[in-house]
Structure 1
Amino acid sequence: MPTLSTPPISLPATNDPVLAALAAKRAEIDARRDALSEQITTLERELATLDGAMQLLALPKGAKPKARVTSSWRVQQVFNFLRGELGHEVMSVLRIANRPLTAQQIGRALCERRQVTLDAAVFRRLCMLIVGNLRRRQAKGFVHSVGYTERNAVLWIMAPTNAL
C-alpha cells in the first residue's frame, strides 16, 4: 500500500478513459492534501503565538516582562526626530546632492549633519526608515528610483519640479 508521500506513478500515454479518470482523481486528492498541509502550518503558527501570549499573561505576581529596546526607538532617541522631520531631512539631503544617492549615503549624511555615530544595527534601522520614507514619497511623485548600485542598492533622486 503506497504512503501519502509517494510520487505519482508514471503511466504510459494511452487513451484509456479509466486511467485518465484515476489520474485526475489522484491530482485532485494531491491538491487537497497540499492545501490541508498549508492550513496545518498556519494553525501551528497561530498556536505558537497564542502560547506566547498565554505565557506573557501568566507571569507570576509582581514580575514584569522584559522590555525590549528596539533599534527604531534607539534611532528616535539619538536623532530626536519630530513627526515628519526625517522626511524633510531626507529631502534636504537629496536636494543638495548633485547625483543619485542610496539610503545608506543619505543615512551617513544625516549622521554627519547631526554629528552622530551609530552602531551597525541602529544605522541599518535608520536606513530602513529612510527607504520606507522614500518609497512613500515615490508613490506621491516626489522622488524617483533611477537605478541600482553593484550591490543592488536603489539609487534615489528628487523628482524635477514642474515649472508653470
Structure 2
Amino acid sequence: MAESIVLLGLISKRAELSGLIDRYRKQINQLELEIACLDTTIELFSPGYDTQSIKPKRYRRKNTFFKVGESGKEIFDVLRKAGKPLNTSEIAKIIMNEKGFDQVFEKPLKATVLTTLRNYHKKGMVEVIGRDRNTSCIWALVP
C-alpha cells in the first residue's frame, strides 16, 4: 500500500510539472508571435532596422524582505545605532533579529543588504573602510 501511495504522489507531481511545461510553452509561443509582429511593425517605421540588436529586458525577482526604500533606511539605522563600522554579515544579522526573520533567510537577506550597500556606495553615502578575515567588506556611513 505504501508503494502505491508514493507512486501515485510521484505520478501526480510529474503530471503537474508536465502541465506547467505545456502552459509555459504556449506562453512562449504566444510571446514569440507578438515579437514577430513587433519586428514587422518596426520594419514598417524603420526599414533595415536590426531588431536582433535589441537586448532583452532583464526581469528581477521582487525583493520580499523590504518595501521600496526600506532596506537603505534599515541599513543606515543599524550603522548609526552601532556607532562603528560593520561588515555585511553583521548588518544582515542585526536586521534579521530586529525584523524577526528566520535563519533560513540569512543568505538571501545578506545578498539584498550587500546590493543595497553597493548602490549607496556608488552614490557616496557609505564607504568601504576595509575587509575582515572572510574578505567581507566593512562598511561605514560617510560623515
**Contact 2:127 2:142 survives alignment (8 Å):** yes
SS at match of 2:86: coil
Task: Provide the residue aligned with 2:44 in structure 1.
Answer: none
Give how far 1:128 is off: 1.1
SS of match in other structure, 1:151? coil
- 1:112 corresponds to: 97
Gaps of 5+ in 1: 1-61, 67-71
Q: Is residue 86 of structure 2 the alignment partner of residue 101 of structure 1?
A: yes
Paired residues, what number?
89
Aligned position for 1:149: 132
When the two chains are superposed, the root-mean-square deviation of aligned CA atoms in Å is: 2.3
Letter in 2 for 1:63: G
1:131 alignment counterpart: 114
Instruction: Please report how far the alpha carbon of residue 118 of structure 1 lies from its aligned counterpart in structure 2 after TM superposition.
Output: 2.3
Q: Unaligned 5+ residue runs, structure 2?
A: 1-17, 24-60
| Alpha-carbon displacement from aligned partner over 1:2-31 (angstroms, at most 9, x marks no partner) | xxxxxxxxxxxxxxxxxxxxxxxxxxxxxx
| Equivalence map 1:12-161=2 (5 Å) | 63-65=19-21, 76=64, 79=65, 81-119=66-104, 122-160=105-143
Larger helix proportion, structure 1 or 2? Answer: 2
Amino acid at match of 1:158: L
Distance 1:152 1:96 in 2: 24
Task: Look at both structures and tell me which one has the larger radius of gyration over its CA atoms.
Answer: 1
Contact kept? 2:96, 2:106, Cα under 8 Å: no
Q: Match of 1:63, SS?
A: helix
Divergent runs of 4+, >4 A: none
The match for 2:34 is: none
Query: Per-residue deviation at 1:155?
Result: 0.1
TM-score (norm 2): 0.56
